[in-house]
Amino acid sequence: MPSSVTAAESQAPEHWLSYAQLVSNQFQTWLSDSGDESVVRLHAFMQERMLQEGTSAPPAALVVRVWIASSGKVERLEFASLGSAQADADLRSLLTSRPLSESPPPDMRQPLILQLDLTFVTAV
């Protein structure tokens, strides 16, 4: 279970939390695929944005709201714009273009709300 747990999480059934962890980790894997052109582009954009802002601090966490179909496919995704139409499209594509490895629990309330810290490495 993630280290920061909200009151809402502590009341959620364990199998919901398990599924949420799965989604979170699978998103991480997709966003870390250095062989994917969209990932490289997104990482480059985030790096450039930091340089323009003149800060060395990591960017604020991005909150994404995710709706997942019974097929495991992400059918709807909402997040605040990253400030670039291309970056937004890349992020959306990376998280919606393929199904998750499992279907969501039928009883789980949606959307799933995840906080993604978009850290990056200089050499991708």
CA distance 28 to 31: 5
Q: Which segment (9-17, 49-57, 81-89) binds another protein by CB under 8 A?
A: 9-17
Q: How many residues contact another protein, by CB under 8 A?
A: 53
Residue 57: CB atoms within 10 A of its CB come to: 7
From 49-57, 74-82, 104-112, span contacting another protein (CB under 8 A): 104-112
Q: How far is CA 124 from CA 12, 18, 27, 43, 63, in A?
A: 37, 30, 17, 8, 24
Judged by CB under 8 A, does residue 97 bind another protein? no
Closer CB to another protein, 33 or 53, in the complex: 33
Residues 75-94 that bind another protein (CB under 8 A): none
Query: Which residues in the 38-77 window bind another protein by CB under 8 A?
Result: 43, 61, 72
Q: Do 84 and 34 form a contact (C-beta atoms < 8 A)?
A: no
Segment contacting another protein (CB under 8 A): 4-12, 49-57, 79-87?
4-12
State how far the Cα of 90 lies from the Cα of 87, in Å rounded to an integer. Answer: 5
- 27 φ/ψ sector (left φ>0, alpha ψ -120 to 50, else beta): alpha
Residues contributing to the site for another protein (CB under 8 A): 2-6, 8-9, 12-18, 20-22, 24-29, 31-35, 43, 61, 72, 101-103, 105-121, 123-124
